[in-house]
Amino acid sequence: MKIPTKLTNELRQQLIHKAMEARKLAYAPYSNYPVGAALLTTSGKIYTGVNVENAAYPTGTCAERVAVFKAVSEGEREFIAIAVVTGNGGTPCGACRQVMAEFGLDLSVLIADGEGKLRQEATLADLLPGAFRPGDMRK
Ligand code: THU
């Protein structure tokens, strides 16, 4: 059963807190730019992610994608919001925007800095105009 969850300020704070906690587990020895993410699904669960780098640089991946892939691999498809925490309030990369867009453009993206300050809040539709989506595969 789908439990609709409204994005309240309390939830916003909870997501940012979880992303900050997750960020401590980031594996970023090459960039020294740890990132944490926390993704809220319509089932009410929160999936975290961190960036995981690799000595073969391009094989590393971003925190947002780890969170989305964890959620999808647990059967989740509907997402409400994602908090992304970086040291300087950096925004999600294009590849992560595309991965998130697969599951809906209404997603709220909360961008916070290392102190947990919300720097920006936008929908994915705002962050990725003209996204290539599943319907675009049809003739
Ligand atoms: N990174 C993320 O985890 N998410 C983003 O949206 C931007 C970049 C990671 C990738 C790499 O491990 C480090 O930050 C520097 O680019």
Chain segment 47-83, per-residue pLDDT in tens: 999 999 999 999 999 999 999 999 999 999 999 999 9
CB 51 within 8 Å of CB 66: yes
Q: Which two tokens stand for residue 11?
A: 């939830």
pTM of the model: 0.95
Q: How far is the CA of 27 from the centre of ligand 1 (A)?
A: 11
Cα(78)–Cα(105) distance, integer angstroms: 11
Mean pLDDT of the chain: 95
Q: Is the CB of 64 under 6 A from ligand 1?
A: yes
Q: Is the CB of 53 under 6 A from ligand 1?
A: yes
Find tokens 């929160």 and name the residue: 46
Nearest in space to 34 (alpha carbons), one of 23, 42, 44, 43: 23
Residue nearest to atom 1 of ligand 1 (CA): 62
Q: Between β-strands 46-50 and 36-41, what pairing exists: parallel, antiparallel or unpaired? A: antiparallel
Per DSSP, 52 falls in state: B
